[in-house]
Amino acid sequence: MSPLRPSLNWLRAFEAAARLGSFAAAAAALNVTPSAVSQHIRALELRLGKPLFERHANGVRLTDRGRRYAEDLGQAFDMIDEATSRFAGRNARDLLVVHVPTSFASQWIAPRLDLFRARHPDIDLRLTALDQGEDKVDATIAFGAGQWPKCEATRLLADEAFPVCSPAYAEALAVPEDLRGRDLLHVPGYAEEWDTWLAHAGVRGVDTSSGSFFDQSIMAIRAAVEGKGVLLGRAALVERELASGLLVEPFRARLPAAGSYWLLVSQRKAKLPKVTAFRDWLIDVTTTTA
């Protein structure tokens, strides 16, 4: 064996973390602890002699080299899965590849993976936040207004946006006007922004041009949990933190989100049994959650 060849466990941990966008989500998918994922990735970086992630206080981000390496590994693992399926014949397990935003994968799907596996133990669900092209995925979960003419689109979840923060931070927030001078957490690119919510709540005089900005919701959620400010969160992405008490909703003014979460499937793959099984499961779970 080549002395450079890394452990398969290291590679699996890195590929899952890169695909899902966080060590915690990778740990849930691999049924190990986040600490184990972190140790595997650190060992891999030491073996390669180059960093794969940029580590920040509120999350991790792939380096350019790390992203290319993750894409190559994803293709390699796909080839292994396909080879195994061909060898096993008709009784082989199905692999379902779903392209999904990092935060939704980590915050909404990962906590429910056991429910899907219990219903469909013969289907291996592979979640990826990397854009691998339409031919590489079986389905996509996207947020928007439902305008995807080339796909069969199934509406899964409507959403709401509202301020959330840690319980300690909320002690100084009795009414929305108390946001003046407070640290606001932002996720640029979301249609629901602080100016929109403040107008909805009838509040003026809050400076929304400053604060901390995050590329991904999961990073901003972590900052809010750590008491770094107030986040305009989406219900689907902060439900666990609200249920556990890590975050609270200081005000009772929710803004209907500009879009919904949708399952998108090409017409070519819409009738595949594994795809219909996933779609039916999502419909059942979202109906129960709503």
Q: In whole angstroms, what is the distance from residue 189 CA to residue 82 CA?
A: 37
3-state secondary structure of 154: strand
- Is 187 in contact with 217 (CB distance < 8 Å)? yes
pLDDT score recorded for residue 232 = 94
Q: 184-193: per-residue pLDDT in tens?
A: 999 887 767 8
Q: 111-130: per-residue pLDDT in tens?
A: 999 999 999 998 989 898 87
pLDDT score recorded for residue 135 = 64
pLDDT score recorded for residue 290 = 57
Mean pLDDT by 10 residues, the chain (290 residues): 76 90 86 91 93 84 91 81 67 81 91 92 88 76 84 91 96 94 88 88 90 90 96 93 96 89 90 92 84
Q: pTM for this one?
A: 0.69
Q: In whole angstroms, what is the distance from residue 200 CA to residue 186 CA?
A: 17
What size, in residues, is the chain?
A: 290
